[in-house]
Amino acid sequence: MHKPASENNFFNDVYDVVRQIPAGRATSYGAIAAYLGSKRGARMVGWAMSSSYNYHDIPAHRVVNKAGVLSAKNLFETPTIMQERLESEGIVVRDDQIQDWETCFWDPEKELG
């Protein structure tokens, strides 16, 4: 299915933000949406991300829900890949949730201005 140009641009903007999340940090769909000027656009960010989980140039494992839960883990090659990638970067995950979420949280509005 071909996406309208504006949707393609939004998806590319999402991917550009995700590529800037540093290793060892994570952010939420809502934080990316807010940064892109769509405070209520978390679902749209999720939609953009749904086609990126297996792209190696987009660290999709660093995007979780607002509580730090690995809500998209089943969209990766295997359900454990997301957690394994986060843990390889030093993030502690227990019961599909990032521990110490406040410390791990990367806010694009603060970091990218």
Phi-psi region of 105 (alpha: psi -120 to 50; beta: other; left: phi over 0): beta
Residue range 10-60, pLDDT digits in tens: 999 999 999 999 999 999 999 999 999 998 899 999 999 987 776 778 999
Tell me whether strands 97-98 and 63-64 are parallel, antiparallel or unpaired.
Answer: unpaired
Specify whether the CB–CB gap between 63 and 29 falls below 8 A. yes
Q: How far apart are CA 66 and CA 29, in angstroms?
A: 7
Q: Residue 113 has what pLDDT?
A: 81
* Alpha-carbon radius of gyration of the chain: 13
Q: Is the pLDDT of residue 93 over 80?
A: yes
Structural domains of the chain in order of their starting residue, each with its CATH number: 5-112 (1.10.10.10)
pTM of the model as a whole? 0.89
Q: Confidence class of residue 1 from pLDDT cuts 50, 70 and 90?
A: very low
